[in-house]
Structure 1
């Protein structure tokens, strides 16, 4: 290889124009990368250090010229030119792929940047060799055996490189995709020459060789190119075989469909299916569609909570294999004691409700006998505005929110904490629900039906008037809450409250004031 003669330099202490331009462009590209994002800091600093090193080599070449050492000076200058242009090309390509192309909406994988940088570097080396009087073709011919030996020794590395290229060319895997590789599930954060980096939900980064991905099966859960990602999840429940499948499926589907659960899509709608029947239990699956694969376990937990609460409300029991079922027998005294304790708890809950204050203890006990424990999970719609439901709920545990439904959405009215009651107007007058009630937490309600209360009011029709006064006060309070929320209160039924109570329960009309005075 013949070194460049000293006559190629305009002056012993002057820099080549190409050298200055390449150095300036490389330094500017590094500065742009550094100022744009901290993520590019490493590339910028590496470029500056490399440019400084090759600039120092160029300075040594000038000193060699001053010392009349033409051949070493030419070699050093050639190394400096080669290195500075190579580093500048790498920095400029980084600016192009990381800053310029994303601005115009073109995002590429990191391996495309690496390939472009390598291609530009190889092209520059060929041009540099040609400028040094060396034909690249002669080097390839004379080193064929060495090249074959190196390729054989690096076949695994080359397989990884080719695997990364193929994965990018056919778009089977892209940065941002959620994938499952064997027992690893996570998000693709980077595709490099040798490996693909997958970040799990535990914030662990798993390096998967590209050659392995090319040869084996992997699952793309959610593609980054698809904005409407929907991933179907299966939640399993063992149910006692004594329950009708239609009843179980309806309860499970309504539990998720009517609840507001984060990351659960309304469309496609959730569905339940009976998958297997075993000795003692049937295996059901609740299938729902998730919008964000990152939150799989927390969302599954929320769905299970809603379904479990719905099954309990419908009296549907979980099943166990018959050979493992435990059978216990309580004596009559213990069963009676447990029943009496439950009645006492129900009576305490009823005594805290103002509309039941006119009732005697025996009457409260009769109602307590018929209270039904009704659990709801957080987010469940307990009752909807306008619905016809002839029962009330005593809130034993938790908190509920009252909402006013409108054409343009719904507005929050007020909250009810444990010890409160709602649905009393529907129980006493048959009036449709005046607001939508939603569980703000997991709640336990005690439900009282009209038929159970009807026995009491028929025995003592006179309590209708006292209860009417309490209901009127509660209606005024609810109307004030509507107005405070800037919502028009619902229209009330016509007639006096006491007359509406008597009419709803089929009681004779209350005597007028004149009839009372004359004794008629």
Structure 2
């Protein structure tokens, strides 16, 4: 039953052919392909459907080719109808012109489909992408060859046409000099690949990415998402700057970020602080090679001018990347205690005296003491000892995404977070780092490096802008020298924190925890005494 249902359309088609066999024979005669006419038409349509799925970018061309095929079939049927109803194929001018027009339209459809097969499927399979203008030229040349061939076979004298076309060409060429200049410019640009789609260019005051090169003009999309249309003749005659394009080198464009610092700070200190911050943690869209540089650009009346030079990898993101670089510079200078300059003529009038300065300093110290009281490591210290540490602590801000410390680094200080969040990451055996914890306001890290001098056990990255205090070995050493017994209390706190983590990781029971606690505390106490020379 199913097989019978499938055969019904085919049987109806055969019946139609039998009833109209004489007309169908005329159609095959006009088409010149015998009994394969309908199969060729169906094959063409099937190929068009396959190409539409394989090459979505050329669907418009494929649809046009399919419509041309249908027009061609209509022309063949119309020419066949003329013959079927009495026109003589040998003498009928209408038949001859309709038939040759249908064949020309069919050839145009075939040429367009063939261009998709050759340029998009075959050449695309081997990663070759010829200039689009070359494709258009070959298609146009094919049209001309087909037209000349069909006109010649239809008996038209081409001598007069060639002579007339020469005169017309001269007149048109003289009147369309600018247009032809644009066309020739477009051909030269694409054939020589002077400018390619995707290039970043600067023409006069316009800067953007090339999105399209056509016969007459080139379209450039700016960073503001505006499209600038430039005649090709302008590109050929004028000066065009190709941004970030070097032969055999990655596309990188050098950016400059300027800032000013007061004369009181040495250029070597400024440059070291800025370069260290920029190179410590990779910045998105900033090339690692060549690395960012910081240079002195000029001496002004009341400040020194500096510039950071870095290589941008994505030219569409100049402003956002410049912003991130400026943030790194700002926070690096704050950590180093270096102030950005202000104009010399700026006058600040504020009531200030020694009493006010002392009061502000006392409030700051009191805030730091409260911060130290929340840190378990310093619970055994007296109020005076905590105040002594508070006076020696320094402010250390970090911008979001900046590395606060790196795994394996030797840094003999501790950080106490007063505002913001940070991510702790650990890498093992050279593998990618893995997130293990998140630090929040009030947390601290780096205690083992401060007390024993061991390298950092993890990398800490600022998840937000982070404000924190930094306490180094020198600030803590005086207290331990005066009261060495503190080392035992601190070693107990450090050992307990470490053993608690190991117990969770290794599943230790209470007895194993006590044994490891005793061993770990003894080892840490010895290392603290050695590090601070308490023996």
Gapped regions of structure 2 (runs ≥ 5): 1-22, 508-518
Single out whichever of 287-296 and 120-129 deviates more from structure 2.
287-296
Residues 1:254 and 2:304 aligned together:
no
CA distance in 2, matches of 1:143, 1:269: 62
CA distance in 1, matches of 2:240, 2:268: 37
Summarize the alignment of residues 71-150 of structure 1 with structure 2, pairs less than 5 Å apart: 71-150=93-172
Asked if 2 retains the 8 angstrom alpha-carbon contact of 1:275 and 1:284, the reply is yes
Change (3 A) 1:205 1:98: farther
Question: What is the CA distance between 1:163 and its match in structure 2?
Answer: 0.6
Residue 218 (structure 2) aligned to one of 155, 180, 196? 196
Residue 32 (structure 2) aligned to one of 8, 12, 17? 17
CA RMSD of aligned residues (A): 3.1
Asked if 2 retains the 8 angstrom alpha-carbon contact of 1:179 and 1:218, the reply is yes
Summarize the alignment of residues 279-358 of structure 1 with structure 2, pairs less than 5 Å apart: 279-324=301-346, 326=348, 328-358=350-380
Aligned to 2:16: none
Summarize the alignment of residues 76-475 of structure 1 with structure 2, pairs less than 5 Å apart: 76-223=98-245, 228-324=250-346, 326=348, 328-404=350-426, 406-409=428-431, 411-412=433-434, 413-475=436-498
The C-alpha deviation readout for 1:446-478, integer Å capped at 9, x for no partner, is 011223223333444443332221111123345
Question: What is the CA distance between 1:210 and its match in structure 2?
Answer: 1.5
Change (3 A) 1:104 1:55: same
Residue 62 (structure 1) aligned to one of 75, 80, 86? 80
Question: What is the CA distance between 1:407 and its match in structure 2?
Answer: 4.6
CA distance in 2, matches of 1:119, 1:409: 58
Residue 44 (structure 1) aligned to one of 58, 62, 66? 62
CA distance in 2, matches of 1:267, 1:480: 44
Give the match's secondary structure for 1:174: coil
Single out whichever of 445-454 and 165-174 deviates more from structure 2.
445-454
**Structure-2-length-normalised TM-score:** 0.83
Give the match's secondary structure for 1:262: coil
Asked if 2 retains the 8 angstrom alpha-carbon contact of 1:402 and 1:438, the reply is yes
The C-alpha deviation readout for 1:13-64, integer Å capped at 9, x for no partner, is 4332369598567545532331213322211222222222233233222223
Question: What is the CA distance between 1:130 and its match in structure 2?
Answer: 1.2
CA distance in 2, matches of 1:312, 1:44: 63
CA distance in 1, matches of 2:76, 2:27: 11
CA distance in 1, matches of 2:134, 2:68: 23
Residues 1:498 and 2:525 aligned together:
yes
For these two proteins, the number of residue pairs brought into alignment is 493
Give the match's secondary structure for 1:375: coil
Aligned to 1:487: none
CA distance in 1, matches of 2:72, 2:163: 30
Give the match's secondary structure for 2:289: coil
Question: What is the CA distance between 1:164 and its match in structure 2?
Answer: 1.0
Single out whichever of 450-459 and 112-121 deviates more from structure 2.
450-459
Question: What is the CA distance between 1:236 and its match in structure 2?
Answer: 1.6
Asked if 1 retains the 8 angstrom alpha-carbon contact of 2:398 and 2:467, the reply is yes
Asked if 2 retains the 8 angstrom alpha-carbon contact of 1:468 and 1:498, the reply is yes
CA distance in 1, matches of 2:285, 2:57: 30
CA distance in 2, matches of 1:155, 1:325: 64
Give the match's secondary structure for 1:452: helix
CA distance in 2, matches of 1:388, 1:27: 72
Question: What is the CA distance between 1:101 and its match in structure 2?
Answer: 0.8
Change (3 A) 1:479 1:156: farther
Change (3 A) 1:483 1:325: farther
Asked if 2 retains the 8 angstrom alpha-carbon contact of 1:109 and 1:190, the reply is no
CA distance in 1, matches of 2:247, 2:146: 35
Question: What is the CA distance between 1:177 and its match in structure 2?
Answer: 2.3
CA distance in 2, matches of 1:227, 1:94: 33
Give the match's secondary structure for 2:265: coil
CA distance in 2, matches of 1:136, 1:344: 103
Asked if 2 retains the 8 angstrom alpha-carbon contact of 1:251 and 1:314, the reply is yes
Asked if 2 retains the 8 angstrom alpha-carbon contact of 1:190 and 1:196, the reply is yes
Gapped regions of structure 1 (runs ≥ 5): 1-8, 485-491, 509-520
CA distance in 2, matches of 1:108, 1:402: 50
